Amino acid sequence: MFLKRIELQGFKSFADRTVLQFDQGVTGIVGPNGCGKSNINDAIRWVLGEQSTKSLRSGTAMSDIIFSGSEVRKPVNLASVSLVFDNTQRIFATDFDEVEITRVIRRNRDAQYLINRTPCRLKDVTDLVMDTGLGRDSLSIITQGNISSFADAKPEDRRSLFEEAAGVAKYKKRKKTSLAKLEATQANLERLQDILDELERQLGPLEKQAEKARRYISLRDELSSIEITVLADEIGSLKEQVSQLEQDIDHSRIQEGRMSEDIQRKEASVADLRRETTELDSRILELQKQYAANLQERVSLEKRKTQLDEQRRRLLESGSDEDRRSQLQALASEARLEYEDRLDRLNSLEQTRQETEKNLADLRQKQEVLQKERSTASNRLQDLQRRQDTVTAMLRQPYTHQQGVNAVMKARQSLQGIEGTAAALLQPKEGMGSAVNAALGGAVFNIITTDEQCARGAIRFLKRNRSGRATFLPMSVCRPRFPKKDQETIAQAAPGAVGWAADLVDCKDRYRNVRDRLLGNIFVCDTLEHANETARRLKYGIKIVTLDGDIVHTGGSMTGGSQKQGSSLLTLQDEQRQLEKRAADAQTAVQELSRSLAPLESQVQQVQEELVQLQVERAKLENIAALKKEKYESLKSRLAAAGEEEDRQAVQDSLAAELSRMHRTIDGQESQMNALQQHRRETGESLTGLEEEIRILRRDLSALQNESRKGEVAAAGLKSRMESLLMRLNTDYTMTYEFALTQKRDVDLEQARIRVRELREEIREIGSVNLDAPEEYDALHERYADLKKQKEDLEEAGTRILSAISEMDETMTTQFDEMFHKIDHELDGVFSAMFGGGHARLILTDPEDLLTSGVDIDVQPPGKRVKNIQTFSGGEKALIAISVLFAILKARTMPLCIFDEVEAALDQANVERFARYLSKFKEDSQFIVVTHRPGTMEQCDDLYGVTMQKDGVSTILKVRLEDAREMAASA
């Protein structure tokens, strides 16, 4: 292997592309001081990986090696150096006959290494040249400074040159890496041991917790498998009971409807019978009056007949026809006037009767309207009462779905400082139940306590009895929350504003802080649209609810939709208050309608009696008018025949006939009155019977309605219980009832219930459980096992590292010892040749420790005593150091050596000795010598001259020996 050429561009003073071709043997590089000849040595070291800018004699940054320009030349932006080696002997571990190593750096500090023009890493370059004798710190590159520092170095520092010669540097590097690994391994072992110790401390208690948790989980799983069956059976049973109750209620309502219809029909019949009774009473009264009138008329006729008889007797006695005619005319005139008077009175009476009938019709219409309104009001009152009963039943169990709240409220007498729930202490104003309920959310079930101690006591009670969870709000730490002034102004001016939720709630003064804490910064709008608009104006900074219970949360998210009737406690309370008011209003309406009907019914009765009286009087007048008309017509006929005796007889006969008819009429009226009175008695009995039936029906209807209400209350209670079980099924087991049915087991339900109680008792005795303990234990145990395995692996790795270090120490000791003795052996001969006699030898400062021992040099020049190298002059020390260098080259052949003015400190005679001795190695090694000494130049096979013009750029040219001497002379 040998260096074939160097290509430089932009490196230090070599601004232009420069190529130096090399052959085997000794190549000299000469030139005056400052021309840049040592930059070639720097370029070689830079390509091989030198990272020190100080060592490269450049600035503070690696980019300073790039040609920076001169007065006449611009700076360049890139520095590139390539070394091309012959590799036909495969010294480099690569299958190429020629190996090119390149390093490039740019002004922006981007750097790059290339091997055979393929980008690579610095490590790839270092690995490639390792064991070849090359390298930035190897023996292959020696400068004047190296010679001086070697001669003046401490024995321990001088050792590195011999280690490089022995080829143990790579082992030291590996050992250093191995020691670092060993140190890291030991640190990891200590860290792992600390962790393992801590894990062992945790595993013991955690194992007990895991066993406890597994026991709990086993019991819980058994409980769930059994309790799901029990819950499904109870829910199914409740569903059947509710269904049966609802069927019974529906059947009762149908019966109520039928009974109400029956009552209405019977009441209509009663009204008809009452009207008929009234009419019968009127007819009887009329007949009675007609009968009395007829009796009176009969008496009058009999009296008249007697008068006529008397008149006839007197007429017969007087014998004057003219007197009889005058009397008849007077009677006829009297009869006509009486008849006309009766007609006038009859017409007036008819008009009065028609008006009375119209008045009666109006009164009856009003009566029917009021009766219908009263019936409607009564039905509405019954519906409200039924709903009241249902709501009341639901409010009796307000916390069915809140196990913890329910438990605390039931035990509040035995607990201290339990004021009540927020729902119980804060009463929404009318119509605000849904809004306040939405504003409170889950806080509606917050339990208000006097102070924190009372809250802690209640929590301990829940834990002790495993009665679920609840949220407590101690009044002692309750602080109001109010909106900012600008928020308050904006909200109140927004469209659809109702007000702040806290202002829509009534409570005692001592609970105002609770109210303001829960509701103080929540605003209420009438609709969701207005709530959105208000929220936008407030930049979604506060919670806004609507009267329907929709919510616009802070941040802009919304909650809303339909709600099940009575789904919230506050809504139920609000509904109960409204029902109470509406029921009271309905009751008042029924009472007012009843009070309005009473005088109206009395008025109807009075008008009916007046109408009957008018009808009787009318009949009487019609009868009298008929009699008067008949009498008048009779008198007119008699007057026409007044002169005849037959007429007088006719009058008597007429009166007799009229009396006879009157007798028959009276007899007929007696029979008719008897028949009407009998009918009246029968109608009265029917009316009494119907009224009794109505009373019984009303009693039965009331009883049926009571039963219906009881059924509704019972159904509401069962539904509440069923919903509680359904929620428990969903909360505890995340199941629907339908899915639970598929999980039912065929078990004895009574035994199952007993087992459920036993399991609950066993679970209660277990106490608090960390359900994550089994998983935590398994994870911790697995981690413990993994870390223990890691520890074992690290211990094994540490053992392997120690073994490798031991092997490397053995190898380094052997190689160093062998090389040391070889060099020591060669040194004596080299020293004798270089000094013209004398002796030199290498001494180990600590022969017992070959791995760290320093190397010293004892020298005995010709004719002098043995002295240490430090006692000689500078030139002598340089020659001794060069002797050691040549001894090393004899002990270990180097394929390439670069000497940079190593002989500068020698006198001319010693330079010639150096040059002659150097030429002995050129058969086995390639030398590149930077020099300005003629003696060295004479021994070079090729010479390159380096010059620098005014532009500050170095140039290369091949020179003859005479030219080189001139350059050296001008240096």
pLDDT digits (tens, 9 = 90+) for 80-93: 999 999 999 888 88
At 255, the amino acid letter reads: Q
Predicted pLDDT of residue 324: 56
Which two structure tokens, joined as six digits, stand for 356? Answer: 């009375």
pLDDT above 80: residue 622: no
pLDDT digits (tens, 9 = 90+) for 805-837: 899 889 889 988 998 999 999 999 999 998 889
Binding site as annotated, residues: 32-39
β-bridge pairing 98-106 and 78-86: antiparallel
pLDDT above 50: residue 330: yes
pLDDT digits (tens, 9 = 90+) for 422-471: 888 888 888 888 899 888 888 888 999 999 999 999 998 888 877 788 89
pLDDT digits (tens, 9 = 90+) for 943-958: 999 988 777 899 998 8
Q: Which residues of 907-924 are buried (b: 16+ CB within 10 A; e: fewer)?
A: eeebbbbbbebbbebbee
Give dist(CA 95, CA 99) in Å, integer. 9
Predicted pLDDT of residue 566: 45
Predicted pLDDT of residue 714: 84
Q: Kindly state the average pLDDT of the residues 41-53.
A: 89
| 631 or 192, greater pLDDT | 192
Q: Kindly state the average pLDDT of the residues 616-632.
A: 60
Note whether 747 and 226 are within 8 A (CB): yes
Spacing of C-alpha 868 from chain mean position: 86
Average pLDDT score over the chain: 81
Q: Kindly state the average pLDDT of the residues 322-345.
A: 63
Give the model's confidence band at 11: pLDDT under 50 very low, under 70 low, under 90 confident, else very high.
Answer: very high
pLDDT digits (tens, 9 = 90+) for 637-649: 655 555 444 455 6
| 379 or 514, greater pLDDT | 514
Give dist(CA 189, CA 789) in Å, integer. 11
Q: How far apart, in Å, are the Cα atoms of 918 and each of 5, 422, 535, 657?
A: 21, 106, 96, 197
Give dist(CA 167, CA 557) in Å, integer. 76
Total length of the chain: 971
- Consecutive H or E run containing 222: helix 169-318
What percentage of the chain has pLDDT greater than the value 90? 20
Highest mean pLDDT among 315-319, 392-396, 760-764, 804-808: 804-808
Note whether 368 and 601 are within 8 A (CB): no
Tokens 């001969």 correspond to 829
| 842 or 344, greater pLDDT | 842
Q: Kindly state the average pLDDT of the residues 563-581.
A: 59
CA dihedral 831, 836, 837, 838 (to 10 degrees): -60
β-bridge pairing 558-559 and 551-552: antiparallel
Q: Kindly state the average pLDDT of the residues 622-637.
A: 61
Secondary structure string (H, E, C) spanning 320-346: CHHHHHHHHHHHHHHHHHHHHHHHHHH
Lowest pLDDT segment from 238-242, 392-396, 534-538, 773-777: 392-396
Binding site as annotated, residues for ATP: 32-39
Closest to 103 in 3D by CA, of 84, 71, 127, 81: 81
β-bridge pairing 2-9 and 78-86: antiparallel
Q: What is the DSSP letter of 869?
A: G
Q: What is the CA radius of gyration of the chain?
A: 68
Q: Kindly state the average pLDDT of the residues 274-289.
A: 75
Q: What is the CATH number of domain 402-581?
A: 3.30.70.1620
Note whether 159 and 855 are within 8 A (CB): yes
Give dist(CA 13, CA 81) in Å, integer. 13
Closest to 596 in 3D by CA, of 397, 355, 429, 368: 368
Give the model's confidence band at 567: pLDDT under 50 very low, under 70 low, under 90 confident, else very high.
Answer: very low
Lowest pLDDT segment from 574-588, 687-701, 808-822: 574-588
User: In 3-state terms, what secondary structure has residue 168?
Assistant: coil
Q: What is the DSSP letter of 66?
A: B
Q: Kindly state the average pLDDT of the residues 619-644.
A: 59
Closest to 44 in 3D by CA, of 27, 61, 25, 68: 27
| Dihedral sign for Cα atoms in the order 506, 511, 513, 518 | negative
Give dist(CA 720, CA 714) in Å, integer. 10
Give dist(CA 578, CA 394) in Å, integer. 16
| Dihedral sign for Cα atoms in the order 562, 566, 567, 572 | positive
Predicted pLDDT of residue 137: 61
DSSP 86-127: E-TT--SSSS-SEEEEEEEEETT--EEEEETTEEE-HHHHHH
Tokens 């399991």 correspond to 759
Give dist(CA 458, CA 299) in Å, integer. 104
> Where are the domains positioned within the chain?
230-393+585-731, 402-581
β-bridge pairing 855-860 and 839-844: antiparallel
Which two structure tokens, joined as six digits, stand for 865? Answer: 């005593």
Give dist(CA 637, CA 629) in Å, integer. 12
What percentage of the chain has pLDDT greater than the value 70? 79
pLDDT above 50: residue 12: yes
| 216 or 617, greater pLDDT | 216
Predicted pLDDT of residue 645: 47
Give residues with Cβ within 8 angstroms of 123, minimum separation 6: none
Which two structure tokens, joined as six digits, stand for 508? Answer: 């005692």
